[in-house]
Structure 1
Amino acid sequence: MNRILLAPDKFKGSLTASQVAARLGRGIRRVDPDREITELPVADGGDGTVDAAVAAGFDRREHTVTGPLGDPVTATVAVRGTTAVIEMAQASGLARSREPYRPMEATSRGTGELLRLVRDAGATDIILGVGGSACTDGGAGLIHALGVKLHDEEGKDIGLGGGELHRIASIDATSTVAEWKNVSITLASDVTNPLLGPTGAATVFGPQKGADDSAIVALEAGLRHYARKVAEYLGVDLSDRKGTGAAGGVGFAAQTFLGARAVSGIDLLLDLVGFTSRLPGTGLVITGEGRLDDQTLHGKAPMGVAQAARASNVPVYAVCGINDLDAAEAEKAGLEAVFPLTELEPDPDRSIATAGPLLERLGENIATYLIEKEKP
């Protein structure tokens, strides 16, 4: 295990994936400076996707676009050649909003503006990470930014946000569909929910975006009306397709109007950063995220890392803030050992506030554990 590959996701609300890897590596080197360590932060399509691409060699570029509540925000994209990586959270994410959230007004428009900007700069292969969004507008803001006409009964543009979807009377996407015909768009997400219904965008994800029961009912009705109008216009209804409920329905708009294909976010990002090419000669992979729980087992970054590493017979450890997996679940996920910060600091609030120093201590403990394990 002389060569270790550090491939964590972010500790949400505390540290970026790059910071997690750096702190962990610092702790390991402090105890075992001869250990060869490579830091390769990862993401699954949400916050940190652009950072992971930049760490893998993409160039970072900044653009000013419309934020989730209509105010201008600065969003970062990653570009290499004709490939661009966009993180929806940068332009239209909850992190760009403010509490109390306004779920009826939040828009995906800024993400559409980013798509247009990178395409106009020469990108023909665009990866769109659709995690962490603030909106439930069915991607209406996104496609409107690309030129799709969404008019009310008076022939005027509808307003921003999911609360306006019920006003759509007509749609015209002729020029937009033609313009994007030769651009490949891949949606990176761990969400397979459809647009509508009890497992749809409004019902499942609305509450975390600030929607109460009445707002969820209104957003669901708006999305249903919108999907019906889209079906009337295009002659096809994709609202039941897996992943159309991602990012408040951006998955629906991107697949319907732009021909986007949805794939596992972590699998795509691992391929993008060349994860498997770094495994030969690696003795151990350490992954992780803020909380290991049931969601981890369904396509989150640590699960993807563990599956890819174990396919090459490389053992995997995990670090986390809190571990809700029992030993059998961790083993099933391909994790040989789990090291939570709560072993060092049981209080969750203090653990979050001091995650950096705690991760260094955890790195020291892992290095000591490895040294003991490798003794003859």
Structure 2
Amino acid sequence: MKVLIAPDSFKDCLDAASVSRHLAEGIHRVLPDAEINSIPVADGGEGFVQTMLSALGGERVDLQVFDPLRRPVLAFYGILPDGTAVIEMAAASGIELLRREERNPLLTTTYGTGQLMADAMKKGCSKIIIGIGGSATNDGGMGMARALGFRFPDKNGDKVSWGGGSLHLITQIDSSDVNPLLAKTEILVACDVNNPLTGPLGASAVYGPQKGATPEVVEELDKNLAHFAAVIQRDLNIDVLTLPGSGAAGGLGAGLVAFAGGRLQAGFDIVKEQTKLETAVMAADIVLTGEGKMDGQTKQGKTPWGVAQLAKKHGKPLIAFAGFLGDGYRELYDEGFTSIFALPNGPASLDSCITNAPELLADTAEQVFRVLLAANS
């Protein structure tokens, strides 16, 4: 049997490569001779840089920047053989850099992501591909823009504070001291969702809670982003309010379009092309994918949905694995998913599930392939 394993990461738990490895372990318990092809698919979040470097070659650059709470952190990005820089914002501004009790989208900033961009431009990279999954932020990209020279004064002319909680205080956008290299740099944004900036499907409402926002804070953040979008529209003549993908990474999608001239493209499409994923799907007998949580939102461009479209196109059965199945996951059965399995095998705390995720992945894969083996014997 030829098996293709093409998962995304399990947020706060395992990167995509580790998920692939543990699924393969479970399969080999049942089918020791199975031919397994693993293509970890990071579509813009954690592991995006390594996915691109593995597919194309290049070098990794380590750099000390600010984390989401403006503490020093050693982050990284990649430079491909053609001189293109590949950045994952999660390396500098990601949610996994914070403990759960530290998560506060009113305070967290994308400044470190802007520092990575500035360093890549300084090194001569005239094209940057930036993946924006896995963020801890909801600042609309204000921090990123600050690192590139934009200034955001309040009504008294003072700099506003950091984070999404201060966006409503911005009275204008001062671009008089912007990094001159920015105008010479092509920015391609690997965006894994299609959410608009605000509203019930916007950055704050959909992703704010996992970043530490209460319902009251979600409402505040949403209003702040709407104000920020209005200032961008007035001062830069760019409408980011309803742009699909503008709500990604707490509005960093909107910020990269507005302040860096970025072009949003589905992160999965970028990785699919570079890794030749479709060719691998065609060669497989069965395809496996997965992500930490799968629900109705998975259809908004998430990695498992992208893999499912390829499997459906080429008539391949697709098995998905998730740490948690949320509302609407059954809708995925009409989208190319053959079956979807949640990992917990009994009552368990979140911490326990995270700790035991490697074993749970391997065990669940083993059970699935025992059924397949019996069905085909």
Q: Give the TM-score of the pair, scaled to structure 2.
A: 0.87
1:42 matched to 2:41? The reply is: yes
Residue 335 (str. 1) matches residue 334 (str. 2): no
In structure 2, how many angstroms separate the alpha carbons of the residues matched to 1:249 and 1:260? 13
Task: Indicate the RMSD between aligned Cα atoms, in angstroms.
Answer: 2.7
SS of alignment partner, residue 178 of structure 2: helix
- Give 3-state SS (helix, strand or coil) of 1:170's partner: coil
After superposing the two structures, state which structure 1 stretch, 259-268 or 16-25, moved more.
259-268
Establish whether residue 78 from structure 1 lines up as the match of residue 78 from structure 2.
Answer: yes
What is the one-letter code of the residue matched to 1:90?
A: A
Q: Any idea what the Cα deviations from partners look like across 1:319-356, whole Å, max 9, x if unmatched?
A: 233445899645312122334434xx222434443221
Map Cα deviations across residues 206-265 of structure 1 (whole Å, 9 max, x no partner): 333223355344434433333333222223433222222222221111111212122223
Letter in 2 for 1:92: S
Q: 1:152 aligns with which of 134, 151, 154?
A: 154
Return the offset for 1:182: 3.4
**Which position in structure 2 is the counterpart of 1:20?**
19
Segments of 4+ moved more than 6 angstroms: 325-328
Q: For the residues of structure 1 that align with 2:137 and 2:194, how far apart are their CA atoms? A: 17
Rounded Cα–Cα distance in structure 1 between residues aligned with 2:158 and 2:133? 31
Q: 1:243 to 1:290 in 2, by over 3 A?
A: closer
Q: Secondary structure at the match of 1:138?
A: coil
CA contact (8 A) 1:319 1:338 kept: yes
- Count of residue correspondences: 372
Residue 297 of structure 2 corresponds to residue 295 of structure 1: yes
> Does 2:240 correspond to 1:238?
yes
Match of residue 171, structure 2, among 169, 172, 197? 169
2:320 aligns with one of 313, 318, 321? 318
Moved more, 269-278 or 152-161: 152-161
The alpha-carbon deviation at position 70 of structure 1 amounts to 1.0
- Contact conserved, 2:7 with 2:290, CA < 8 A, in 1? yes
- Kept in 1, the 8 Å contact 2:191–2:253? The answer is no
Asked if residue 69 in structure 1 is aligned to residue 63 in structure 2, the reply is no
Instruction: Quote the Cα distance in structure 2 between the aligned partners of 1:150 and 1:354.
Output: 45
C-alpha distance 57-366 of structure 1, shift in aligned 2 (>3 A): farther
State whether residues 264 and 299 of structure 1, in contact with CA within 8 Å, keep that contact through their aligned partners in structure 2.
yes
Quick one: percent identity of the two aligned structures? 38
For the residues of structure 2 that align with 1:351 and 1:14, how far apart are their CA atoms? 9
- Secondary structure at the aligned position of 2:297 is classed as helix
The one of 275, 278, 292 equivalent to 1:276 is 278
Unaligned runs of 5+ in 2: none
For 2:264 and 2:17, locate their aligned partners in 1 and report how far apart those are by CA, in whole Å: 26
Q: Secondary structure at the match of 1:192?
A: coil
- Gaps (5+ residues) in structure 1? none
Change (3 A) 1:185 1:29: same
2:262 aligns to what? 260
8 Å contact kept, 1:186–1:260: yes
Question: Where does residue 365 of structure 1 map in the other structure?
Answer: 367
Provide, for residues 250-281 of structure 1, a one-character-per-residue CA deviation record: whole Å limited to 9, x for no partner: 11111112121222232332223221232343
**Cα deviation digits, residues 121-157 of structure 1 (max 9, x gap):** 2333322222222222221111110111223345443
Give the Cα separation in 2 of the matches to 1:362 and 1:270: 26
Counterpart of 2:24, as a letter, is: G
DSSP 3-state at the match of 1:248: helix
State the shift of 1:174 in Å: 5.1
Other-structure match for 2:183 = 181
1: CA distance, partners of 2:292 / 2:7: 10
Q: Give the Cα–Cα distance (whole angstroms) in 2 for the partners of residues 170 and 294 of structure 1.
A: 38
- Normalised by the length of structure 1, the TM-score is 0.88
Q: Distance in 2 between matches of 1:314 and 1:288?
A: 16
